[in-house]
Structure 1
Amino acid sequence: MTEKEVFELNGRSYRWSGDVWLDAQTYVSPPGVIQQELNGRYGHLVGVKTAVSRKPTSTPSSSAGKGIQKTIGPIIFGFVRYRYAETQDFVHRDEIAQHLLDHPEASAFLQQAYAQTDQKMTFEHYVGNQVDWLSANMEDPSRSEFNDLSEKGEMADGKKGFRPRAW
């Protein structure tokens, strides 16, 4: 095994560099959960000795959703405010999902969360579902800390759009 070999996980490429996994494009070490997955799948090829572990028990969806909401919620609402200021129109759910995919912090966080799922859908679909989850929980004051920041409406294609709530 050479350090030039590339290994794929969730659509991203990684290299083993002596004692750590690195993103093949950015040369940045991925989050711990990604490194664990790489060790589990490819560790035997690069000489990593891993302990056998079970997949973590899943947390209730509301607490998992709140963790995701606390991380990506401010990113989403910042983007909605920015785009609304440019267009004076609702920001489409798909545009928000694409912004999360393009946003380094949000994408890295969501890749960690996605790695802990059964991965029955693509990562892109998973990210869109996170936008939908936040949308579905915006009006429930016990579940969303952002319900007073944004309002939603239905777009022409039946999907949701968002804009800042009038002050």
Structure 2
Amino acid sequence: MTDLAEPLIMRGLVAAEALRGCGEEEIVALMNAQGVTELPLAYREFLGCAGRDPYWLSRNDEWDYDWVVEAKDLAREIVVDDYERDFEPFENSFIFLTHHGYMFYYFRPEDLAAPDPNFWIYLGDKPVRDSGLSFTQWLRGLADYLPTAIELRREVSVIENRQKDDR
């Protein structure tokens, strides 16, 4: 995973100290919290390298360690409470990201032993779908987009400051 972060650090887009990984005990606690006994190797490596607080890579979703500890319960609320569906198909999955309380990304139970599987997307009343991307491909896409995201944030900040000055 350092090959993902290192170019961003070298370009000054990410501070090296922003990369905070999880220790083995935290990874085991995360698996226990979600009731799984293994994780895809690529996800596990990401957690160990920089996954404790991954907002250095993307701020669009909820996917930090403390959130993911609770993600299975949050996903259950989305499926059962919000959409009145059965959570059983997701019970043995690993939920690694939620998005604003209406969708989540997950690894299916049969993919937990795979080195770098595609992840799946639950989006309310739409059919569950394969993302079409492995976890590493998805991370690479986030890393590739980061310079654009930073520039957009900078432009929005400039506009907001101008609007404040005009008041």
Smaller-chain TM-score bracket: under 0.3
Structure showing greater radius of gyration is 1
With the length of structure 2 as denominator, give the TM-score of the two structures: 0.26
